Amino acid sequence: MSQGRAVSTARKEARPAVIREHDIRSTDIHPNVFYVCQRLHEDGHTALLVGGAVRDLLLGRSPKDFDLATSARPETVKQLFRNARVIGRRFKLAQLRFPSMSMEVATFRGEPRTRRQGIIQRDNRYGTSEEDARRRDFTMNALTFDPLTLTLYDYVGGLEDLRARRIRTIKPPEQSFREDPVRMMRAVRFKVRLDFRIDPACEAAIVELAPLLGEITRHRLAEEMQRFLTRGNAEAMYAEFDRLGLLRPLLHLEPHAWLFAREALEQPLERLRPYLRRMDAWVAAGRETIAPTVALLGMLVTLAREGLPAYLRGETSRAAEDFGRVQRPRLAQMLSEWGLLNGQVAPAQAILDAVRALGAQAEHRLADREWAAGLTGVREAVLLRAVLMDTLELPDAAVEPTLAWLPRLPDLPILDHPRPLHRGSLPRRPEHGAGPRRRGRSRRGGARERPASAD
């Protein structure tokens, strides 16, 4: 056996509810999951399917990804699988890349020990399968499943809550939300996405603790905002944020009042509704994938004073000129403070400039391939114009023809563009590239993929 195989613990695990009669079928699980679990089991480790995949399988939904938790350390997983790499800064885990999917394999995590005013500061302690389940956010996400024995384990009453379609925190709501205020946003996401109800005690705690979102880094909140905009239920999601008092700390408009319209500062949801509806209609129609960063720029333009839309329309009005001369130079710092990562700020500005450059003659200019190829962010600009038709006052005749040029326009590589890998039907065998490490030259390359979000 490999050294460091089992994770030591000072206390014995509690006995979970062991459930062998459930609705999960082996055919619903990707063969690569069985392969990875079997390899870990043969090496003497426990390996369980965890998180959103178990929840979705019990609900009869198709999981978008499969995450595993194991007693093996990340370095051990890397030794067992040649397609594995260790990732993560706060908490290291192994990522296994297959031709049509990626899988994250994390070591069982223990309760965090370092906190500041109730908020978790360090969360990098290994633990047991019970501790790993109990440290999660909601009971329905703490269910674990052994694919090899088709056994479901429930430490916290998650199956009962799942069947009752109830969102309930594992710890007392106030403690749970203080540890990680982003859990309040996740509760709303699950309510809207799954059509569940939030436990009354949890909902009361959200209303009381909503201002705690102001203590979360803007980068993390911007990442959450981006995700919510591109799932097809943005209007319902943001309406719930507004009802529970989460919208204002999430948008963080007041520190940048020079850019945002007075109506946006007073009633942000009403200002956003037309844009959110267009985003939802765009997703429902199955149209071209919009990078989350582009969707976030659309929100920014929708909430902005008239100077920014006028500038993007290419007008020569006083408002447009004032924006270009006074406010445009301040935009980079504002985008960084609002939550965009450093590597996203310059591309975001380039996209806005490309929208302006396209102007009223967008289709004619796109026909000039040399001109279009030399314009940074032109593809993203075409998509941004399409979802901002109302704000930019563009008719369908000025937008729809430009969308036909999308297949010929290059992506802006720095953004979260590569499209999600197409999985199709489940293969009968584990895919090539998953076996033990061998000496010699390894294969490189392959399709880029969008990192999977936590669920």
pLDDT band at 438 (very low <50, low <70, confident <90, very high): very low
Q: Which pLDDT value is given to residue 14?
A: 52
Residues 6+ apart with CB under 8 A from 83: 96, 97, 98, 433, 434
Among the residue ranges 13-17, 260-264, 391-395, 425-429, the one predicted with the least confidence is 425-429
| Residue type, position 148, single letter | L
End-to-end CA distance of the chain: 33
| Residues recorded for the chain | 455
Mean pLDDT of the chain: 87
Q: What percent of the chain has pLDDT over 90?
A: 73
pLDDT band at 449 (very low <50, low <70, confident <90, very high): very low
State the pTM of this model: 0.83
301 token code pair: 């333009």
The average pLDDT across 3-30 equals 68
* CATH number belonging to the domain at 1-159, selected among 3.40.50.20, 3.40.50.1820, 3.10.310.70, 3.30.460.10: 3.30.460.10
Beta strands in 71-143, from DSSP E residues, in sequence order: 84-87, 93-98, 101-107, 114-116, 119-122
pLDDT band at 435 (very low <50, low <70, confident <90, very high): low
Q: What is the pLDDT of residues 30-87, one digit of tens each?
A: 999 999 999 999 999 999 999 999 999 999 999 989 999 999 999 999 999 999 999 9
Catalytic residue, chosen from 43, 137, 161, 242, is 137
Q: Which pLDDT value is given to residue 433?
A: 54
Q: What is the pLDDT of residues 202-211, one digit of tens each?
A: 999 999 999 9
pLDDT band at 89 (very low <50, low <70, confident <90, very high): confident
| Residue type, position 14, single letter | A
Q: Which pLDDT value is given to residue 20?
A: 86
Q: Which pLDDT value is given to residue 418?
A: 40
Domain residue extents for the chain: 1-159, 252-408
Q: Assign 39 to helix, strand or coil.
A: helix
| Residue type, position 85, single letter | R
The alpha carbon torsion through 62, 66, 71, 75 (nearest 10 deg) reads: 180
pLDDT band at 373 (very low <50, low <70, confident <90, very high): confident
Catalytic residue, chosen from 43, 65, 199, 280, is 65
Catalytic residue, chosen from 67, 199, 242, 280, is 67
| β-strand pairing of 17-19 with 151-154 | antiparallel
pLDDT band at 28 (very low <50, low <70, confident <90, very high): very high
Element containing residue 436 per DSSP (H, E): none
Q: Is 137 a catalytic residue?
A: yes
Q: What is the pLDDT of residues 251-272, one digit of tens each?
A: 999 999 999 999 999 999 999 9
Q: Which pLDDT value is given to residue 3?
A: 41
Does the pLDDT value for residue 333 go beyond 60?
A: yes
